[in-house]
Structure 1
């Protein structure tokens, strides 16, 4: 009788316990709400004009280099900036070459952390060509551009986030702001 009760208990324990394999939950990403951008014209106090995202605030550059027409388009919601720098070329081939070299140098400085820098040319409605540089990896600036009319004006833009969040988590925001930057380029006009 004891053997029978013991067998029933052992069989009950073996059939009553289900074994399950442990599967860890995948890492989650921050939920980021993105709404379509609305654009407004830049104030006419600059030697360039474009439509910029209404969700941004224009902040005049306060760096150690006091440049009158340098601005940041600040996204409060994403803690990000599009830094816009402007220089006059003044029909100087040397100045243009120097500005282009500086632009490429600033981009290449991210090469330490970037595992790729993809460069492309975008033909703008104005007839100008803009050079776009997309950086992959854990870099502080994921997207940059420069555009010039080759004789009078040079404009450079760079996207920066003020956060330690990994770029793969920021990818939807980066892609969203990249579209805003392309819109800036497509609506760019120089004040003559």
Structure 2
């Protein structure tokens, strides 16, 4: 009897010409990316590189910031790349400490990370760098460092100021990875 009632109810409901409306799925804002064009870093730093003309360089004012720490800010993308510089002065123990710190800072994202990939980037200028890609709802999806192993160590981390929904921000991260790669390609030690 129960099944007969459900069958009749189903047949009656199919016969109506009433339209059913569904709510639109949530959309994401369209992001306009500036052209990739670069300019030389100005200032008295122990390093030099080319960075995006759509970005601005400001000193890093976070607590504990050291000399030569900078932010390359992208106002239109609400993002920035934080650069932390450490002099080595020929001390290999310091180099090991800074490399370990780079991995330790990346591992702080493990709580929300879905995956982490580390790889060596072979640069056109003959140098290498280490890059770390982090997937998931994390504030920094891409981190990297480069060193000459005796005098200089430079670490970069791409940060987004927006909610970290991976799917919606992936194009921003990919755009910033291109700029980070260009920075590494043009990096020179002074």
**How high is the TM-score relative to the length of structure 1?**
0.86
Distance 1:165 1:123, change over 3 A: closer
After TM superposition, the structure 1 = structure 2 runs for residues 144-183 of structure 1, keeping only pairs within 5 Å, are 144-164=143-163, 166-183=165-182
Alpha-carbon contact 1:89-1:152 (below 8 Å) kept: yes
Give the aligned partner of residue 141 of structure 2: 142
Partners of 2:43 and 2:77 in 1: CA distance: 27
Alpha-carbon contact 2:85-2:153 (below 8 Å) kept: yes
Q: Please report the RMSD computed on the Cα atoms of aligned residues, expressed in angstroms.
A: 1.8
Distance 1:103 1:165, change over 3 A: closer
Give the aligned partner of residue 102 of structure 1: 101
**Structure 2 unaligned blocks of 5 or more:** 1-12
The alpha carbon displacement at 1:25 in A equals 2.4
Deviations 1:85-130 (A, max 9, x none): 1111111110000000000000001011001011111112332211
Partners of 1:50 and 1:38 in 2: CA distance: 13
1:41 and 2:40 matched = yes
Q: Name the SS for the 2:181 alignment partner.
A: helix
Give the aligned partner of residue 125 of structure 1: 124
Give the aligned partner of residue 7 of structure 2: none
After TM superposition, the structure 1 = structure 2 runs for residues 37-76 of structure 1, keeping only pairs within 5 Å, are 37-76=36-75
The alpha carbon displacement at 1:27 in A equals 2.3
**How high is the TM-score relative to the length of structure 2?**
0.87
**Structure 1 unaligned blocks of 5 or more:** 1-13
